[in-house]
Amino acid sequence: MPQHIAIIMDGNRRWAKKRFLPAALGHAAGAKRVRDIVSSCAAQGIAHLSLFAFSTENWKRPEEEVSSLMSLFMTYLQKEVDSMNENGVRLKVVGDKSRFSPALQELIVRAETMTAANQAITLTVCANYGGRWDMIQAAQAWQSAHPGQSLQDLTEEALAQHLSTSYAPEVDLLIRTGGESRISNFMLWQAAYAELFYTDDLWPDFTPKRLTKAIDWFQHRDRRFGSSAPI
């Protein structure tokens, strides 16, 4: 079984458009789907699930859509944190949170603190996140921790300790819904050896049954990690 699954949740707006609905309702439908996928991962013994909720590039979207996404994020944190806590879900939110409103930042801290001791599964929500940002902030954090050392002393192992997801293993399976075949600046370091599963399913249509199909596909992959023999 993969120990770390990462998902690019793509297709909310197209799901809404197909139903002649506003984009906000597509995002709301996608948020509802998260609970099913988290529960399915936990039931199958997957330790880490990371979801790409909002990228550093998403600020370029219309102001109304960005505002509705921020409101949805706040609502999700308010409504779901008790359920997550009851079901043993540990929540982590990674990304540049400084751009969020003080109220949203406070909700994030509250949710992370409340669920910090849970062990059933770690759910990482990547918000205002980008893989390039992550590597840059990790390098800066390393330099701050070692002010007297040159960048020539920086190793892969040392940098990995300062990534925003340093508490999690590298990604085993990366899933992208919505029919696109790119990773869009998501976990560039962490997914270096991930198996990439692309599906035409729009995110609100990505059911636990579809997740099981992706996991089954992963289990039949011949993972070599650069060597000549499978591992």
Those residues with Cβ within 8 angstroms of residue 19's Cβ, 6 or more apart along the chain or in another chain: none
Decide: 10 and 178 in contact? Cβ < 8 Å.
Answer: yes
Task: Tell me the binding residues for substrate.
Answer: 11-15, 27, 55-57, 59, 61, 176, 182-184
CA-CA distance, 121 to 101, in Å (whole number)?
28
Decide: 189 and 144 in contact? Cβ < 8 Å.
Answer: no
Active site residue 205: no
Task: Tell me the binding residues for Mg(2+).
Answer: 10, 195
Task: Tell me the binding residues.
Answer: 10-15, 27, 55-57, 59, 61, 176, 182-184, 195
CA-CA distance, 172 to 194, in Å (whole number)?
5
**Size (the chain), residues:** 231
Question: Of 10, 134, 172, 201, which is the active-site residue?
Answer: 10
> What is residue 20's three-state secondary structure?
coil
Active site residue 10: yes
Q: Which residues are catalytic?
A: 10, 58
